[in-house]
Structure 1
Amino acid sequence: MFSPPAADQENISSSPASTKGPVKYGELIVLGYNGSLPNGDKGRRKSRFALCRRPKANGVKPSTVHMGCSPQAAKAISNKDQHSISYTLSRVQTVVVEYTHDINTDMFQIGRSTESPIDFVVTDTMPGGHGDSQSVQSTISRFACRIICQRSPPYTAHIYAAGFDSSKNIFLGEKAAKWRMQDGQMDGLTTNGVLVMHPRHGFTQDSKPGLWREISVCGSVFTLRETRSAQQRGKMVDSESQELVDGSLIDLCGATLLWRTAEGLACTPTIKHLEALRQELNAGRPQCPVGFNTLAFPSLRRKEVLDEKQPWAYLHCGHVHGYHAWGGQAEVEAEVQERECPMCRSRGPYVPLWLGCEAGFYLDAAPPTHAFVPCGHVCSEKTASFWSQIPLPHGTHTFHAACPFCVQQLTGDAGYKRLIFQGPLD
């Protein structure tokens, strides 16, 4: 657990119950954007979204079940003030579950749709932190999932697959995986599913990756299907819950979100602290061992603009240099240059180094000493080690470790490398 220096104490928020504004339940942070969307955060489209207690509860809970095509079922579906979930079993049989208002909870909805019921609009994330180019067919559902938060302490948050549309309905078509439960209620899975992974030992320096599970429309937990859209559901895991914990990852098949609780964020380094670490690093006046020029990490605001003092690194060995255009052949086709390090002659990616600016991804407040391979995003050793062990869903049936700041797939033995800085010679 990180303990900030006295000067930084005012920058750490207090517990959710004691803050002066609305109670904050937690925040969702989209992996791959390093602090903000490429074109800036606008409205409901941003790289992180705070879930705060609403002025008036808007949560819902299941109530009446209507079998078949009864007038009551038809009325529940057509009533714009009535939340309902429709399960189409066949052309002639539909089960409609009415949902009623719950004064004890707040509901937040996430998806690709820009319609008003969606609180947090999420689009497909491309490696390198670039948003979805509209030509790509999105695999994220328009109404992907909903999170229900308790309005009173301990403010628990539970996740459910699928969100209610503008007519306050959720429709599971004939082809969707669905089934009847023992209590007569229905349940089902969405087309590409909502996957969740809870880390073991919380989101701390001791964190270890958990297992990916699938969450159903009613919040039950299942092992993964053979592929994302397979019609056969996995096995039910009774011993696990859909309650989100600090560090839970939510995958919507095209974008992955990190859930941070308000308490967890209160123990996380802030942007102000990351800026202090950057200044401390630069104050050491690291030098290029070849050109002897002083190197400096650019400010966090200029996180994509190459600077003439920008540190570059040979990621096979970790030696940090300034940029030089000699000493190796740039691979024409390759995204990263393969170069030979002048210090130790090892060959590998030669890339500019960027500080990881999204503080919510950090497990501790230690100095930025390690870089992800091959993207060159720099963070603390514990942070790099943790993310390099997590298999993130990619496409509809593969998993691979990726940098949380840009979601580029990690390579090399560990996926990250300790950086070797040379201090000033004077």
Structure 2
Amino acid sequence: MVVKRAADSADSPILEEAGESGSEQKPKPLVKYGELVILGYNGYLPAGERGRRRSKFVLYRRTQANGVRRSKHYVVKTPHSSEAILDASQHSISYTLNRNQAVIVEYMEDPDTDMFQEKATKWTENHEIDGLTTNGVLIMHPRGDFCGGSATCGPWRETSVGGAVFSLRESRSAQQKGLPCLAETNVLRDGTMIDLCGATLLWRSAEGLKNSPTKRDLEALVDELNAGRPQCPVGLNTLVIPRKLAGGGGGAPDLNQPYVYLHCGHVQGEHSWGKDGGEGSRRCPMCLTMGPVVRVCMGLEPAFYVDAAPPTYAFNPCGHMASERTVKYWASVDIPHGTNGFRAICPFCAEPLQGSPGYVRLIFQDNLD
């Protein structure tokens, strides 16, 4: 992955504060490009964030640029004996076209880019070589601004090794590349999604994160909901919305844990009323609607939010809470699945959404409007 280094200007990336003010040897502030956040983790890994195993990656401007760019290329018959290959100080790559022909591409240092790195279709055009990874690197730019809730899901495209943009192949590993999309770019913008066929990343720019809620803001919204002391209409006990769901076990049920009826949205506590259906299905005592019930938990990864509104909606079937616009946005985003399929998922746990529309409005006992 290559990030363009912005020139020092008024609209340069956010500066990350480092050290105490007034120190004579205060470290130089780091320029933050943004964050790559993996879908399916609610702000943390279950086993903890250790080393390179993280739920998100923060990219900062490097002290010295390590990017490279193509300098020149030429066709040779014996690449292993060419001057560029034999020169240890020259960075070059050799691509074999056929038994008697190869293309050597020389690269030179590029002071304007930083690189962050992570058998396929390849082709040549005007003696320049390009290719696709085996299962493809797909990107999706949202239509509209990600922050504010006005964005909609854009078309998924595939990017080549050289940075060209193509329509999707018939399947992820098909040998025939898609049609070129000359008017589109692979430059990331706030809300761009990257699918690596096994992991899906969300890119949040530094400027976009400034306009998003922080984790502290989200925790304050949970505290505000709990301050309303929502009650279970059956047990009449006060419900407490957790910030994290406790692991399953055989212990006594938590009477303060709220549950949501996914077909109607009523939020209640743990009780045995209405268990006259199949496993996991109950009849709501408020409206008598029959349907599945799931524990409610707050979605705490700030990067997934499109606004800072109260969490009044929950995803079906996982029960993660978020703001109305956030839930509706993610329910409308098709995430690549399998060789050529798509499906909407909860960004906090990657659970595929069920039913239509894939979410429910939460109705607490202290707010029955």
**Per-residue deviation at 1:423?**
1.5
1:228 to 148, 153, 172: 172
2:360 matches 1:413: no
Paired residue for 1:324?
A: 271
User: Do the aligned partners of 2:14 and 2:207 also contact (CA within 8 Å) in 1?
Assistant: no
**Per-residue deviation at 1:331?**
4.8
User: Do the aligned partners of 1:203 and 1:363 also contact (CA within 8 Å) in 2?
Assistant: yes
The within-5 A match list for 1:242-391 is 242-298=186-242, 300=243, 302-305=244-247, 307-328=254-275, 331=278, 337-391=280-334
The 1:318–1:100 alpha-carbon spacing in structure 2 relative to 1, beyond 3 Å, is same
Paired residue for 2:366?
A: 423
2:49 matches 1:44: no
2-structure distance, mates of 1:328, 1:362 = 35
TM-score (norm 2): 0.86
1-structure distance, mates of 2:352, 2:86 = 46
User: Do the aligned partners of 2:37 and 2:57 also contact (CA within 8 Å) in 1?
Assistant: yes
Percent of aligned pairs with the same amino acid: 56
2:13 to 16, 38, 41: 16
2:181 matches 1:237: yes
**Per-residue deviation at 1:73?**
7.1
1-structure distance, mates of 2:83, 2:48 = 43
The amino acid of 1:382's aligned partner reads R
The 1:236–1:67 alpha-carbon spacing in structure 2 relative to 1, beyond 3 Å, is same
The 1:36–1:86 alpha-carbon spacing in structure 2 relative to 1, beyond 3 Å, is farther
1:216 to 142, 157, 160: 160
User: Do the aligned partners of 2:79 and 2:85 also contact (CA within 8 Å) in 1?
Assistant: no
For 1:217, what is the secondary structure of its paired residue? coil
1-structure distance, mates of 2:297, 2:85 = 51
2-structure distance, mates of 1:408, 1:265 = 25
User: How much is the aligned-residue C-alpha RMSD, in angstroms?
Assistant: 2.3
1:193 to 116, 136, 142: 136
2-structure distance, mates of 1:68, 1:326 = 79
User: Do the aligned partners of 1:285 and 1:424 also contact (CA within 8 Å) in 2?
Assistant: no
The 1:296–1:252 alpha-carbon spacing in structure 2 relative to 1, beyond 3 Å, is same
35-44 or 366-375: bigger deviation: 35-44
The 1:73–1:375 alpha-carbon spacing in structure 2 relative to 1, beyond 3 Å, is farther
1-structure distance, mates of 2:281, 2:94 = 55
The 1:282–1:90 alpha-carbon spacing in structure 2 relative to 1, beyond 3 Å, is same
User: Do the aligned partners of 1:87 and 1:178 also contact (CA within 8 Å) in 2?
Assistant: no
1-structure distance, mates of 2:337, 2:367 = 43
List runs of 5+ in structure 1 lacking aligned partners.
1-13, 111-172
187-196 or 408-417: bigger deviation: 408-417
The amino acid of 1:196's aligned partner reads I
For 1:16, what is the secondary structure of its paired residue? coil
Number of aligned residue pairs: give it.
341
**Per-residue deviation at 1:207?**
0.7
User: Do the aligned partners of 1:15 and 1:263 also contact (CA within 8 Å) in 2?
Assistant: no
The within-5 A match list for 1:88-99 is 88-99=96-107
Paired residue for 2:113?
A: 105
2-structure distance, mates of 1:297, 1:79 = 64
1-structure distance, mates of 2:255, 2:82 = 66
The amino acid of 1:89's aligned partner reads L
User: Do the aligned partners of 1:223 and 1:234 also contact (CA within 8 Å) in 2?
Assistant: yes
The 1:424–1:236 alpha-carbon spacing in structure 2 relative to 1, beyond 3 Å, is closer
2-structure distance, mates of 1:44, 1:26 = 17
User: Do the aligned partners of 1:198 and 1:209 also contact (CA within 8 Å) in 2?
Assistant: yes
Deviation by residue 1:297-340 (Cα, 9 ceiling, x = unmatched): 12x3x3444754111010010010101244226756xxxx2222
The amino acid of 2:285's aligned partner reads P
**Per-residue deviation at 1:192?**
0.2
2-structure distance, mates of 1:397, 1:77 = 40
List runs of 5+ in structure 2 lacking aligned partners.
1-10, 18-28, 249-253
The amino acid of 1:252's aligned partner reads L
For 2:116, what is the secondary structure of its paired residue? strand
User: Do the aligned partners of 1:73 and 1:96 also contact (CA within 8 Å) in 2?
Assistant: no
Paired residue for 1:395?
A: 338
The amino acid of 2:39's aligned partner reads L
**Per-residue deviation at 1:67?**
2.5
**Per-residue deviation at 1:402?**
0.6
